[in-house]
Amino acid sequence: MASAYYSNTVHIDFASLLAMENPGIVSVLNALMAYGLAGFLGCPTVIYESELVDFFNNGSVRDGLVVSTVNGVPVEISERLFAETFELLVDGLVDLSDMPKDKIFDARSIVSLSGEPVSLSGRKGQMKIEYRLLFDVMAKAISVKAGSFNALTVEKFSLLTAVVCGILMNWASILFNILKKMVSAGSKQAKGFAVQIRLLLESIPNFELGKSMEFPASKILTAKTVHRYIYHSIQFWKLSRSVRSDWRSELRCSLGDGDEPNVHPLDPGPLGRSKSITKSI
């Protein structure tokens, strides 16, 4: 089903989020715009499901182009067309492994909720709320990798670092290479870019699209959905503190009045091991 191609993605309503009275969120949005990602992350949210299925079922890479057959019509997408459609930057780093290590180190402190550098083998809960949202955007809308969206990885954090530290990136090349992996046989790259593929198909002369449908509202970051995200994050944090406090009290009772439990301040205690409580927020 076509819904599998956008079940884990997010899209951004820039106008709605920029109107929020939240300096952190607004700062992140301004950074995404400054680094040329607004056209890709905030394009009109309309999709064509049957065409999307055709595109991926028949897609492949030939001579550096993404090619497919949609509604019986041959389709060719070049990196240049991709860049022009979304007004993406075409200069800068093209390989995330070339991200300066000192910038990654700086970003680990900038985004940290506690003030201590975040662990790249930890979870996104270590980060301030605006950077958790940015991490979600990078993980779901840019890298489109299957797996946990709560766990930090070097690759996903490098994408976040590019925005946080203002690293010049060749987003056209990075994103087009991801699209090529999506249509390559045997690739482990998850499929996505559902909204963006619609715009690419619309740019093809004399190509007729079928019945359209609106992108699911639950997948669009607006002021309303972000306020809800923040509210649930705060409630989760309060619950976390309560559980840890109870846990420490129980340990003190079992150890004796004069003893302190040997627990790291960021140790989640039983909360971190409770599947029923630690669902993704």
What would the pLDDT profile of 98-121 be if each residue is shown by its tens digit?
A: 999 999 999 999 999 999 999 999
- Radius of gyration of the chain measured on its C-alpha atoms: 21
Does 213 share its domain with 261?
Answer: no
Measured distance CA(223)–CA(207) in Å, rounded: 35
**CA neighbor of 200 nearest in space, from 94, 79, 60:** 79
The 3-state secondary structure of the chain reads: CHHHHCCCCCEECHHHHHCCCCHHHHHHHHHHHHCCCHHHHCCCCEECHHHHHHHHHCCEEECCEEEEEECCEEEEECHHHHHHHHCCCCCCECCHHHCCHHHHHHHHHHCECCCCCCCCCCEHHHECHHHHHHHHHHHHHHHCCCCCCCECCHHHHHHHHHHHCCCCECHHHHHHHHHHHHCCCCCCCCCCCHHHHHHHHHCCCCCCCCCCEECCHHHEECHHHHHHHHHHHHHHHHHHHHHHHHHHHHHHHHHCCCCCCCCCCCCCHHHHCCCCCCCCC
Give 270's pLDDT tier (boundaries 50, 70, 90): very low
Residue 260 has pLDDT above 50, yes or no: no
pLDDT at 171: 97
249 and 140 housed in the same domain: no
The 10s digit of each residue's pLDDT in 143-188 is: 987 666 788 989 999 999 999 999 999 999 999 999 999 999 888 8
Q: What is the pLDDT of residues 191-202, one digit of tens each?
A: 999 999 999 999
Q: Do 203 and 264 share a domain, yes or no?
A: no
3-class secondary structure per residue, 117-167: CCCCCCEHHHECHHHHHHHHHHHHHHHCCCCCCCECCHHHHHHHHHHHCCC
Per-residue pLDDT at 169? 97
Q: Are residues 167 and 268 in the same domain?
A: no
The pLDDT of residue 265 is 35
Same-domain check for residues 153 and 203 = yes
Residue 130 lies in domain: 2-221
Q: What is the pLDDT of residue 1?
A: 57
Judge whether 80 lies within some domain: yes
User: Both 31 and 155 in a single domain?
Assistant: yes
Residue 7 is predicted with a pLDDT of 79
pLDDT digit string (tens) for 189-233?
999 999 999 999 998 888 888 888 888 888 999 999 999 888 877
Residues 235-254 have pLDDT tens digits of 766 666 655 555 455 545 55
Statement to judge: residues 60 and 173 lie in one domain:
yes
Count of structural domains within the chain: 2
Residue 277 in any domain: the answer is no
- Kindly report, residue by residue over 117-154, the tens digit of the pLDDT: 999 999 998 999 999 999 999 999 999 876 667 889 89
64 shares its domain with 181: yes
Same domain membership, residue 120 and residue 216:
yes
